Structures are given as structure tokens and as C-alpha cells.
Chain A
Amino acid sequence: GAGVSQSPSNKVTEKGKDVELRCDPISGHTALYWYRQSLGQGLEFLIYFQGNSAPDKSGLPSDRFSAERTGGSVSTLTIQRTQQEDSAVYLCASSLAPGGQFFGPGTRLTVL
């Protein structure tokens, strides 16, 4: 596609449920990144993929968070047993390193 797409755009879930967020990067971009943006914490880096491998998982806030990428393209971010503090906008970006990372529109996650 022309840009990075993410789905769903909004997700409301109950505390304790699992959620899956999807990112479809720009075609041909080998690097893919997940961030989250919240009022209290600003923009935080979560995880980075180069191809299908994730050399940098340092930003994942807990073991409830995991991500995978298949076929060097689509990525899913999974949050298990969601907590209210997980409420945020989850942003995905892709790039042809070096240079700019191009962001998707984000998924707004609300945990009730």
C-alpha cells in the first residue's frame, strides 16, 4: 500500500482480556517499529524488527507484551491480560534504514 496501515483504529477492551494489534508496513520496507504514545509517558519505543527477526525488544514494558512479524511484512503486537495502564495509542512505523520512519495512523487502545 501507499502508507503504513494499522488495524483496528480503535479498540476498547476489558481489563484482563488479550488484544492483538496489526500493522501493515510500506511495501518493501524491511524495518518495522512499534511505539506507544500516552499522556503520562509520551512516545515510547517498544520493539523493532529487521525482516522477521527482532534484534531489539528492550522497550517491551512487560512479558505481557509480545510481537511477531511474518513474511517480512505484517506485524502483530499482542498484549495479554490487559491492564488499565496499557491504554494508549499504539503506533507502528516502517523504514528503509537509514532515514525517516514513516508512521501509521495508530490504534487507540482503551482498557476499561
Chain B
Amino acid sequence: AQKITQTQPGMFVQEKEAVTLDCTYDTSDQSYGLFWYKQPSSGEMIFLIYQGSYDEQNATEGRYSLNFQKARKSANLVISASQLGDSAMYFCAMREVTGGGADGLTFGKGTHLIIQP
């Protein structure tokens, strides 16, 4: 079973609309972290937002917010007022903190978001 599932391979959205990118995860750990990254065509991986499993409030960073629903194991990214520059691949990722250490991230397959003028 995949640990991170992103069900939307591609999305087209009109500029200025809000966008929700889906992400569900699978873990038996109680302590874990959830991340979203943006990868434009230039290839760089840009960190957007982080949510810890014990954080009670949804994380927000400017136009980005993470809709964290722990019982559903869901960590959707919401981009408000989309801009043309938001066109990119978006990856959801999880870190499972096991054995007191911080392991590498497990990534989903990504969603290719295209913002249309």
C-alpha cells in the first residue's frame, strides 16, 4: 500500500480561484510530520508548509493552508487566490519519526497544477 496518495495527477484551475490538492497518508505511528513541496519546471523543490501530527491547528503560510483531518488521514493543501506562478508540480510528503530519530520523507507521486489566465 502506498504511504502517500495523491489522487489528482493533473489539475487545471482558473486564475484567482482557490485550489485544493488532495493528499491522504497511511501510517501507524502516532508522531509524524506532513509536508507540501512545490516543484516548478526549473526543478527546484520549494518547501511550502508543514503540519505536525500533534498540532491542533491547521498550518497556514500566506496563501497556503493545510487542511489536516487526522481521523481521515488527510492533509490537503489549499491555495487561495491562485496565481499564474503557482503552476507547478506539488508533492505531499510524510516523515515518520521512529526510534527517536528523523527519517527521510516519503513522497506522493505529485499533482501537476496548471493555472489558466
Q: Which residues of A contact B (CB under 8 A)?
A: 31, 33, 35, 42-43, 45-48, 50, 55-56, 59, 89, 91, 93, 95, 97-103, 105-106
Contact = CB atoms under 8 A, between A and B. Distances in A.
Identify whether the interface residues of A are mostly helix, strand, loop, or mixed: strand
Contacts, number: 59
B103 A56 contact: yes
Q: Interface residue tally of chain B, by bracket?
A: 20 to 34
A33 B104 contact: yes
A42 B52 contact: no
Residue of B93, B102, B106, B107 with highest tally of chain A CB at under 10 A: B102
Interface of B: 33, 35, 37, 43-47, 50, 52, 91, 93, 95, 97, 99, 101-107, 109-110
Nearest to B95: A98
